Amino acid sequence: MESKDPNEPRACCEKVGSLSSDPSFYQEILYHISDGVYFVDRERRILYWNKGASRLTGYQPTEMIGKLCYDNILAHVDACGTSLCHSLCPLSAAIEDGREQTAAVFLRHKSGHRLPVLVRVQPIRGRDGTIEGAIEIFSNNSAQVEAERRMDEMRRMAFIDHLTQLPNRRYLEVILKTAFSEFRSDAVRFGVLLIDIDHFKEINDTIGHSSGGLVLQEIGKTLVSCIRSSDALGRWGGDEFVGVVRGIGEDELRNIAERCVALVGKSQIPTADKQSPALSVSIGAAMIRDSESLEKLLLRADALMYASKAAGRGRATVGGLTRDPTVLTG
C-alpha cells in the first residue's frame, strides 16, 4: 500500500476534522490564550469567561458567569469617561446589527483602577443564521504594554517609586531637563501636568494610611492609562503626580488633563473595611513659554493646580482657563 505523506492537505484536513469534533479541545485553547475572551447570549448574560479575562480584569469566572454585562461590573467608559454599558455597548450593537464592532475603552479593574483595552466583538450565529449572542475579545492597549516595558527598564535603574511602582521624582527631573533641552535646541514644545489628589489627608484619616497607600497606587494606574506611550507620568512626592507631554499644543494638553480628571472621578477603590472614598484630582497644566525657565514652568503649573483647588477641586486649569469636569453617570 502506498504510504501517505503526513504533510499532504488531505492528511491535515483529516487531523483538523478529528479535533473539531471535540469542543473541549477549543475551550481549552480559549481558556489559556492571553487575550480576554467571554461569550454572552442575546440578553448579554455572560456564559463563558477565560483565564486571560481574569488576568486582565482581576475577576474570576465564578464571579462573572451568569452575570449580565450591563450589571456594570467592568463599567466600560470611553476616553471622556462616558459610560458605555447601557446605550453605547459594542456587544449590544453587534447583537442588534450583526456586524463586527471594535472600540478602545477603559474598563474598571477589580482593584479599582482604570485599564485601557482594545475591544473586538463578533456576533455568534446559530445554524439557521439567527444571532444567538456575541463574543468579546479584549487585550491590553499597546500604550499600556509599552509603559510596562519602560517601567521594567526604569526599575533596574532605580527610577521607580517604591509605593506606586511608577517613575519617581528623580526620573521625572531627567525627563523634564531633556524636554527643556529639546525645546531650546529644536523648538519641540512640551507641557507639564501637576496633579494633586483632593482631600488626601481626610482619606488617610478616615480609612487609614495603608488604604491611603492603595488609593495612591490605583489613582497612579488610572493616570498612566490617560497619557500616550511617548509621555511620562510619575509620583512627584506625597500625593502629587507629574506628567510630561511632548510635541502637542494647549488643546491636546487640556484634553489629557480633563481625561485624567474624568477617569479618576470614575474610579472606585475597594478597601479592607468595605469603604470606598470619593476620589478626585485637581490639575494644573501649562505649556512651556519661549522665555520661560523650567523652574518657572513648574511654579506656574503649581499655581494653576491651586487655582483648580480654589475653584472647587476635581477639575483641570490650563493656561489660566478653568473647566469643570464632565459630569457622568454609570
The bridge status of strand 281-287 relative to strand 316-318 is: parallel
pLDDT at 326 over 50: no
Q: How far is CA 201 from CA 198, 209, 215, in A?
A: 9, 9, 12
Superfamily of chain region 143-323: Reverse transcriptase/Diguanylate cyclase domain (3.30.70.270)
pLDDT at 143: 67
pLDDT at 62: 93
The whole-number average pLDDT for the span 35-47 is 92
Lowest mean pLDDT among 31-40, 130-139, 151-160: 151-160
The whole-number average pLDDT for the span 226-235 is 91
CB atoms within 10 A of CB 21: 7
User: Are residues 304 and 284 in contact, defined by beta-carbon separation less than 8 angstroms?
Assistant: yes
Would you kindly state where each structural domain of the chain is located, as residue ranges?
23-140, 143-323
Count Cβ neighbours within 10 Å for each residue of 241-276 and write b for 16 or more, e otherwise. bbbbbbebeeeebbbbbbbbbbbbbbbebebeeeee
Confidence of residue 271 (pLDDT cuts 50, 70, 90): low
pLDDT digits (tens, 9 = 90+) for 186-196: 889 999 999 99
pLDDT at 304: 96
User: Are residues 108 and 267 in contact, defined by beta-carbon separation less than 8 angstroms?
Assistant: yes
pLDDT digits (tens, 9 = 90+) for 209-226: 677 888 899 999 999 999
pLDDT at 312: 94
pLDDT digits (tens, 9 = 90+) for 65-79: 999 988 888 988 988
Level-2 CATH architecture, domain 23-140: 2-Layer Sandwich (3.30)
